[in-house]
Every structure is written in structure tokens, then in C-alpha cells.
Amino acid sequence: MTTDKKKKQSRPGWDEYFINIAKAVSARATCLRRKYGAVITKDKIIVSTGYNGAPSGMKDCLEAGKCTRKELQIPHGERYELCHSVHAEANAIIRASADELSGATIYIAGEDNGLGECLSEPCMMCKRIILNARIKKVVYSDGNGKYHIISPARWLKKRV
């Protein structure tokens, strides 16, 4: 028989719970390089999810069987304007209302195709979108089974 204390220890905290859901959402991604998932919550309720993939109606990289950035050997984190995908964070944000986003938390998790979990810090473009959405907390996987928790207000101290 388990005690109440043991039950509480085996139950994940809210951040771990939602980051794991973001990992599950990333399975829908259509990128050949990396798969990302994002979950937006407010008051511990999921208000939106998103994954990286081509805009609605456009052929995605899985369907096309190629990645322009990969073909051009562009390193991760560079030249996103050549990417055909909308990032997971942006997809989650555009599917939520301004009221749902203000004061919300976004969870971001990713996987390097075939290599396992990867660092999932938002790119510069997504940082600006997160700031404009007035999201107050960002939780992203560190690529090693843990996660970082930050306030987007920190990004205001330097130009993003």
C-alpha cells in the first residue's frame, strides 16, 4: 500500500506535465531536421498547441521529401527566412486569443530527428512574438531531460 506522500512524489509537477505534452505535440511536426511542439497554458489549463510545419495548404517538407535549409547546409539557428515551416510557438500563438495569451505560459520541446531531445530555446523571431503576445513565462527543454524556466521580460534587457 502506498502512502499519500509516495503518491505525490510519483505525480509530475505542472511544468513537467506540460513540457511532456509539448513533446507529444512535436510528433505532428513536418520538418525533416527537427520537430518542435508548443503548449500554451493559462491557470493550468491548455489554451492552445502548435507544432512546426508548413502553412495550411502548402506542401510540407515531408511531402516534398526535401528541406531547403538542409540542402543548402545552413546551420541550425540561421537563415530561418528560407524555411518553409511556421514555428511551433508561432502556430500555438496564432490559435489563441489575446486574452488567453496575456499572462500565459508557453512550453516548448523539440527533438533532433533521429538524435533525440534537443535544446528548445525560442529563436529570435519567436522571442519577439512571445513578447508581443504578453506571455509571462517560458518553459523550454534543455536537450538533456530537464527544462529551463524564464520570464520573457529578461529579453527586454537586450535587443532581441
**pLDDT tens by residue, the chain, 160 residues:** 444 555 556 899 999 999 999 999 999 999 888 899 999 999 999 999 999 998 888 888 888 888 888 888 888 778 878 788 899 999 999 999 999 999 999 999 999 877 889 889 999 899 999 999 999 999 999 999 899 999 999 998 876 5
Positions marked catalytic: 89
Determine the Cα–Cα distance for residues 148 and 126; give it in Å rounded to an integer: 16
CB 48 within 8 A of CB 93: yes
| pTM (two decimals) | 0.88
Single-letter code of the amino acid located at 86: V
Determine the Cα–Cα distance for residues 16 and 79; give it in Å rounded to an integer: 31
Determine the Cα–Cα distance for residues 25 and 44; give it in Å rounded to an integer: 17
